[in-house]
Amino acid sequence: MTTIFKDAFAGKRVVVAGGSRGIGRAIALGFAAGGAAVSLCARGAEGVHKAVAEISALGAKGHGAPCDLADGKAVAAYIEAAAQALGGIDILINNASGFGRSDDEDGWAAAINVDLLATVRASRAALPHIERAGGGSIIHISSIAGLVATTRTPPYGAIKAALIQYTQTQAALLAKQQIRVNCVAPGSIEFPGGVWDQARQHNRPLYDATLASIPFGRLGTAEEIADTTLFLASDLARWITGQTIVVDGGQLLAKG
C-alpha cells in the first residue's frame, strides 16, 4: 500500500460494504492507514473479525459486523450500526458482489440482489449521515466487465454496467449536497482465495488466456484498486464526480 495517503483521512469515518477480503479488505486497510475510522461488513463473521483486528493493529478505530448484503433490512441495520460506532459517515464504499455468472435465474438474482440492490440500499441508508457531515464521497466498485460484451458472465457484466450508469445519476443528484460519487472498474485482480486465484489453480487455460491478454503482463493486485479508490475519496479528487476509472493494466485495450 502506498504511503501517499498517510494522514489524508484523519478524522474521516469510512464504511466499506463487502470488506473482509480481497479488494474490500485492501480498501479498508488503506483508509485505516490513512488515519480514518473504518467499519466493514461481510457475510462471514470470522473474516470480519480478522479484518477489524488488522484495522486496529494500524492504530485506527475499527468496527465490523456480519451482514447479508442481499437482505435489505440487514443492510440498513448495518449502516446505522456503523454510523453509531464511528460517530457518523463521511465516505461509503460499495464493494460487495454476488458474482452472478450463469445466465439463469440464480445468476441474475445474485447479481441484482448484491451488486446492484445492496449498493442502492447502502447508499440510501448512508446518505443522511453523509449529508449531516456536510458532504463526502460514495464510491462503487464495478468491473471492466461492465464496459464490454461478457459472454462468460452475462449477469455480472450487465449489473456492473448498471453500477456505472447509477454512478452518473447519483453524482448528478447529489452534487448540490457536496457529495461526490465515483466508480472504479477493476480488470482481472488476483488475491488469495479470489476468483483468479481459483482459476490459476483449477482452470489454467482461462487464467493463462486472461494473463496473455493484459499488456502489462500480469494480473492486478487488490492494493492497486485500493489506491485508486483512496485517490477518488481524497481531496486530490475534490472536483471529480460521476466518473468511472478503469484500473486494468491495459486489459481493455487488447479488446479493441
Determine which one of 78, 156, 166, 207 is catalytic. Answer: 156
Structural contact between residues 146 and 135, judged by C-beta atoms closer than 8 angstroms: no
Cβ-count burial of 149 within 10 angstroms (0-12 exposed, 13-18 middle, 19+ buried)? exposed
Report the alpha-carbon distance of residue 74 to residue 67 in Å, rounded.
6
156 belongs to the catalytic site: yes
Report the alpha-carbon distance of residue 29 to residue 60 in Å, rounded.
9
Q: Look up residue 66 and give its three cell numbers.
A: 456480519
The DSSP line for 209-248 is: HHHHT-TTSS-B-HHHHHHHHHHHHSGGGTT--S-EEEES
Report the alpha-carbon distance of residue 233 to residue 214 in Å, rounded.
27
Instruction: Give the residue numbers annotated as catalytic, written as ranges.
Output: 156
